Amino acid sequence: MQARVYNFSPGPAVLPLEVLEEAQRDLLALPGLGISALEVSHRSKWFDGVLEETQANLRKLLRARENFHILFLQGGSRLQFSMIPMNLLRDRSADFIVTGSWGQMACEEAARIGQVRTAFSAKAENFNRLPTTRELDLDPQAAYVHFTSNETIQGVQFPSEPDVGNVPLVCDASSDFLSRPLDLERYGILYACAQKNAGPAGVTVVLIRDDLLQQCRDDLPSMLSFKQHVREGSRLNTPPVFAVYLVMLVTRWLLNTIGGLDRMQALNQAKARLLYEVIDASGGFYRGHAVPEARSVMNVTFRLPDQETEARFLKEAAARQLCELKGHRSVGGIRASIYNAMPLAGVQALADFMREFAR
């Protein structure tokens, strides 16, 4: 069999080996059923159990109370850019805190549906920093304030939630979901496509607080209506059964092997520190994109002296099984995505290579 490399892809991204091994065992026949996890009905008792356990595991990990509904939807995080304003923007407007490309896109998509205001944008600084509380130009009447907890492309992450007063926070947590504990009570909606930290592409987890759900419009097409999805328990149409099953296995891994989100956060911080230390000790050979206070624990973005050297870096890294390190086409440079499932050994191997390459 082909050996596994260290996959630093921004998503779809590395999954825990024991999750893949379990899925492999069940691929031909699930125990007690004799049917593959790829073949089983979304109305089966087995899938009832998968939905139930995945929700219960997520509730436990995120300490989500019963006032949050947990949905498994399709269309990726990008559909949420439209679906959330469709459901919640009536006569009010929404505020957007824009700290990177994804937040910008979320804001532009919402503007097609309703009124939006940009409460902050770091575009002029090439999205390398976060706002201070004083810089936020907030509308106290806004329906919600949208922010992106981790900007995957720029590698800019909020260490904690922005202070927006009493207006509900709506968070695109696509690339740091389940990487650290959260104070969920501060959020109205939190959404994340699975393909970075939670599973494979194909399913998007949406947590929506009940009071926001009650404000959602009733006259939308069913597939775009949060109320309909909640009413049908994420089975308004055929959900991506296999993807949800993998999210279940990943949440089990987080609970049983890792030991919860506090432990996960400590491991993630230790991994990120290894790379930022190399960047900071390189005498300017490696230049981090984000200012230190805004550095992402998930996506470490940096540049080398010139594009030729960057190309050589990528080639030599790949020769050592350190793969998918190319930065996003819109910003260039190098990006090491070190999500939950990237083992410490992979990050150590990258840090060692970076030191040697700089020398």
Residue range at the interface with ligand PMP (CB under 6 A); choices 55-63, 75-83, 233-241, 286-294: 75-83
Q: How many CB atoms lie within 10 A of CB 192?
A: 25
- Nearer to ligand PMP among residue 214 and residue 330 (C-beta): 330
Residue closer to ligand PMP by CB (options 78, 227) is 78
Which of 172, 176, 253, 326 is an active site residue? 172
* CA-wise closest residue to 294 among 276, 268, 271: 276
Beta strand ranges found along the chain (DSSP E)? 6-7, 68-73, 93-98, 115-121, 145-148, 150-151, 156-157, 169-172, 187-193, 204-209, 287-288, 299-303, 322-323, 334-337
Nearer CB in complex with ligand PMP: 14/304? 14
Shortest Å, Cβ 129 to ligand PMP: 17
Give the number of residues written for the chain.
Answer: 359
Number of residues that bind ligand PMP (CB under 6 A): 11
Instruction: Indicate if 45 belongs to the active site.
Output: no
Nearer to ligand PMP, 119 or 278 (CB): 119
CA distances from 210 to 55, 164, 214, 347 (A): 16, 20, 6, 40
* Own/partner pairs, 229-238, CB within 8 angstroms, 24+ separation: 229/71, 229/73, 230/69, 230/71, 233/51, 234/51, 234/71, 234/72, 234/73, 235/42, 235/43, 235/51, 238/42
Nearer to ligand PMP, 156 or 304 (CB): 156
172 included as an active-site residue? yes
Which among 95, 176, 196, 326 is annotated as catalytic? 196
Which listed range, 70-78, 138-146, 218-226, 247-255, lies at the site for ligand PMP (CB under 6 A)? 70-78
d(CA 3, CA 8): 16
Q: Which of 193, 243, 275, 297 binds ligand PMP (CB under 6 A)?
A: 193
Give the start-end residues of each E strand in 26-139.
68-73, 93-98, 115-121
Among 102, 253, 271, 326, which one carries the catalytic annotation?
102
Is residue 72 close enough to count as binding ligand PMP by CB under 6 A?
A: no
The answer to whether the beta carbons of residues 148 and 296 sit under 8 Å apart is no
Mark residues 132-161: x for contact with ligand PMP by CB under 6 A, - for none: ----------------x---x---------
Q: Nearest residue by C-beta to ligand PMP? A: 76
Cβ 169 to ligand PMP shortest distance, Å:
15
Site for ligand PMP in 1-60 (CB under 6 A): 11
Q: Does 77 bind ligand PMP (CB under 6 A)?
A: yes
Token digits of residue 311 = 């190309």
- Is 95 catalytic? The answer is no
Q: What does each C-alpha distance from 301 to 82, 104, 118, 287, 305 come to in angstroms?
A: 28, 19, 25, 9, 14
Contacting residue, 54, 57, 157, 174, with ligand PMP by CB under 6 A: 174
Residues that bind ligand PMP (CB under 6 A): 11, 76-78, 102, 148, 152, 172, 174-175, 193
Active-site residue list: 102, 172, 196
